[in-house]
Structure 1
């Protein structure tokens, strides 16, 4: 059972209410993904299918979403039944992911920081790699190794963390919860991984040309009068982007 099973029916609401998701996360992820027209994509840790559906709407010819949470996948299936896009969803653990197909790309939004130890992290990366064609891209929105551990730093942005120490170590666990208007979640556990370990895990799984990209504010949000309110977040974003290519 996934930690998200009991929260699945409220997860999409946090996406709607979180102040950073549209102007920073979605903007940055889609900018890095670029044109996916005619490509086949695997959405690993797809949750309720927000990105899975977006990939299909943006022209991907074939999209499969996989997630450990059966309840998240159930909600994604309901969305597909309500508005058929030809998306397929499967209940799968990223760390035990068999070969489904040779995809052109794999997306893993909020994924690798659920690796509980180095072996688990390595298995996740290998599972993704075995589902990419040679030259296929892996794009992930991953916990920032330079995340701020200052108490309450991200509270204005709809997320609150509980860190055990000011300085985090590889594999160390801590918790977060969504704290948005009308929706307060239970605490979810994730794990810290440094840039060096993440690079090594990806290289060991057969990836090269690993590139780290900082998220940015969308032009529309940057043009607003209160754009300065995002600066603390942009200085120390919760997540950064990683792009890697399969050998």
Structure 2
């Protein structure tokens, strides 16, 4: 995963311009609702990329935020933005499936991370490391690919999903960000029940799925496009707790 995201980091401005609509009008507000109040809390953002969601988390009132990613290119980009617009976020290059217990965080977030696991074993390692970094009573908030969405082209959202019909659990497929030319990433098919099963085996409880919905603040001229995206959402939210 780090190699393909090192490549994306080099052309991130164009990728960001395409995915911004879905992020700002659906994913951001839905993610904020799932997070809830963060005042005084410590948050670990796993697979933070260039830090878009990490910065949002800090601005939501968290006391401390640490972002980790195994892509050096993405972490360098995040650190460059932090140097230009300092918020006090720490960014670390770290393999997500082998990371140590850095600290007992109140919240662990994982934005578009779980669908990169290429096997149950790989996802289990990641789940165990996220669990180990949570304090008792801490929460996991994950934004991930919607395995139930249609595989048809999604120009409204800026993505085209090339998922095969009736995919096997863990089957690899391509997602294109509709830049010029398209920017491709490879992900894996994980049904809801498979993800919950793996996280449950790691010790998580209290699972709840949340829809990615249209924000109340969407501009009138963007409302129809936002509704099209919400009708066949490319992502979904899952929350869980460490007992």
TM range (shorter): over 0.9
Cα drift, residue 171 of structure 1: 0.5
Match of 2:190 among 170, 177, 193: 193
Match of 2:233 among 230, 234, 237: 237
Cα drift, residue 6 of structure 1: 1.6
Check 1:236–1:170 CA distance in 2 against 1; reply closer, same or farther (3 A cut). same
Cα drift, residue 233 of structure 1: 2.4
> SS of the residue aligned with 1:96?
coil
Match of 1:202 among 199, 203, 213: 199
Contact 2:26–2:226 (Cα < 8 Å) also in 1: no
Cα drift, residue 16 of structure 1: 3.7
Cα drift, residue 161 of structure 1: 1.9
User: In the comparison of the two structures, how many residue pairs are matched?
Assistant: 241
Check 1:83–1:203 CA distance in 2 against 1; reply closer, same or farther (3 A cut). same
| Equivalence map 1:7-46=2 (5 Å) | 7-18=8-19, 19-46=21-48
Check 1:2–1:227 CA distance in 2 against 1; reply closer, same or farther (3 A cut). same
Instruction: Determine the C-alpha separation between the residues in 1 that align with 2:128 and 2:212.
Output: 25
Q: Give the TM-score of the pair, scaled to structure 1.
A: 0.92
Contact 1:7–1:185 (Cα < 8 Å) also in 2: no
Cα drift, residue 20 of structure 1: 1.1
Deviations 1:170-202 (A, max 9, x none): 10110112114xx54432110010111111111
Check 1:216–1:82 CA distance in 2 against 1; reply closer, same or farther (3 A cut). same
Check 1:57–1:184 CA distance in 2 against 1; reply closer, same or farther (3 A cut). farther
Alignment correspondent of 1:6: 7
- Establish whether residue 246 from structure 1 lines up as the match of residue 242 from structure 2: yes
Q: Give the TM-score of the pair, scaled to structure 2.
A: 0.94
Match of 2:220 among 205, 224, 227: 224
Alignment correspondent of 1:137: 139
Q: Which ranges in structure 1 are unaligned for 5 or more consecutive residues?
A: none
